[in-house]
Amino acid sequence: MNANNDKNIPAAGDPPRAPQGQPRETPTPKQVLEHSHSRFRKRKKEGINPGIVIFALVIIAVIGVSVFVLVTGRGKKNYTELPENHVPVETGEVPQETCDYVEVDASAVHGGQLILVNFRYPYEFPEDGEGPETANVYDNCRGMLKVASMADSLDPVTLSRLVSFASDFEERTGDRCFMVNSAHRTYGDQVSIYRSYSETLGEEYARSYVANPGYSEHHTGMAADLAVVFDDGSSVPIDQYQNYSIMREMIPSYGFILRYPEEKVAVTKIGNEPWHFRYVGAPHASVIEKTGLCFEEYIEFLKNYTADGSALYLASDGILRSLPFVDCALVHDSALIYYVPLSEGATVSVPVPKNAAEYQISGNNVDGFIVTVTVGSAPDTVSSVDGSVAETAQASVLTGEE
């Protein structure tokens, strides 16, 4: 899941430290308010005019009540995996004592398995113009996939996960029928494809289904168009294939999402493509599937989860919740996901919990990094989504950029 990112350096696996002190209690509303708004408190100390202070207090009260409702109403389960005697730390800042910092080059925002490439954010080709490292599909698929072209290639991790999926799919259904119809494309490939669609099917069709050169996800090597072709040469449109629903059910746990669903055409600006799958890695594919977000919306949604606030938290029971980042050092058997915005300067300090067994930092190709931390052996699949996370996801769709 993480071999295609140079920045993926396993951290020392310190076991979670046993916290000292008083028995843990559910935070009181006051603690929750103080914890959530310590940044506001900090600003007050610097001496601002009283009108602003009163205004800020009213806002804090309104937000505070909402936070209280969310935390007390739905958040209690967040703590079920934590040690009994944990005392919440009051800070709105990144907890220094529980994190290490990884210096990441700001230009790495354009690389990694979670880059968003769409009509607005082009793929940043490496300076040598060669594109990403890829592996030939036919040579590396162990006979599990058919290919439309012997030259087709994919990002090596993407290909290996696709082969695992095809193999497990055959075991479950008896069918070995997936053909990679289109895989990695260079800039020149995309120019030819756009031109040929436009000439044969018309400019309007080309505009709906073919991205402009530079703006195609196929440039990343992490997108594949799949077709269903049986050994006798017969084929069926993929969404009419009798086991398509089984495929859709299985494929997120191998890290793939259906990238251009019918109901998200207004957001993706690409027509319904039941054949185009994008590798984003598990558990992201599983979260995207369960929250019902498309990739554009997911990138926005993740901005709600930061190291100076809460992280998305996928515990061993498979339920997706949010967790105050200060508590990250105390969890085990979980996956944590959070966003680190780009800052001024050539490098960005990315906080990573000291108890991470494994972590991965990916650019989002927009404005920051997404950190995926595994502590212990977390599940790859999300079985359900906690109410407050579902509400945040919904809010992201309503307020997020397109």
Pairing of strands 99-105, 358-363: unpaired
Query: 259 or 290: whose CB is closer to Zn ion?
Result: 259
Q: Measure Cα distances from 261 to 140, 239, 251, 270, 276 in Å.
A: 29, 12, 15, 9, 9
First CA to last CA across the chain, in angstroms? 29
Residue with tokens 């479950």: 172
Stretch of 62-70, 220-228, 314-322, 335-343 lying at the interface with Zn ion (CB under 5 A): 220-228
Query: Contact letters (x/-) for Zn ion, 249-288, by CB under 5 A?
Result: ---------------------------x------------
Q: Which position among 34, 81, 217, 273 bears the catalytic label?
A: 273
Query: 226 or 326: whose CB is closer to Zn ion?
Result: 226
* Least gap, CB of 3 to Zn ion (angstroms): 23
Stretch of 78-86, 218-226, 325-333, 334-342 lying at the interface with Zn ion (CB under 5 A): 218-226
* Least gap, CB of 313 to Zn ion (angstroms): 33
Residue nearest to Zn ion (CB): 276
* Least gap, CB of 301 to Zn ion (angstroms): 23
Query: 114 or 180: whose CB is closer to Zn ion?
Result: 180
* Least gap, CB of 146 to Zn ion (angstroms): 17
d(CA 383, CA 394): 18
* Least gap, CB of 118 to Zn ion (angstroms): 12
**Is 273 tagged catalytic?**
yes
Residues 94 and 308 sit within 8 Å (Cβ to Cβ) = yes
Q: How many residues bind Zn ion (CB under 5 A)?
A: 2
Query: 252 or 274: whose CB is closer to Zn ion?
Result: 274
3-state secondary structure of 260: strand
Pairing of strands 310-315, 384-385: unpaired
Stretch of 20-28, 95-103, 219-227, 302-310 lying at the interface with Zn ion (CB under 5 A): 219-227
Query: 216 or 322: whose CB is closer to Zn ion?
Result: 216
The reply to whether 225 sits near Zn ion by the rule CB under 5 A is yes
> Judging by beta carbons within 10 Å of its beta carbon (0-12, 13-18, 19+), is residue 180 exposed, middle or buried?
buried
3-state secondary structure of 48: coil
The reply to whether 197 sits near Zn ion by the rule CB under 5 A is no
d(CA 85, CA 281): 35
| Half-sphere exposure for 135 (CA within 13 Å, toward CB) | 17
At 197, give phi and psi (nearest 5°). Answer: -65, -45
d(CA 201, CA 90): 61
- Active-site residue list: 273
Q: Which residues bind Zn ion (CB under 5 A)?
A: 225, 276
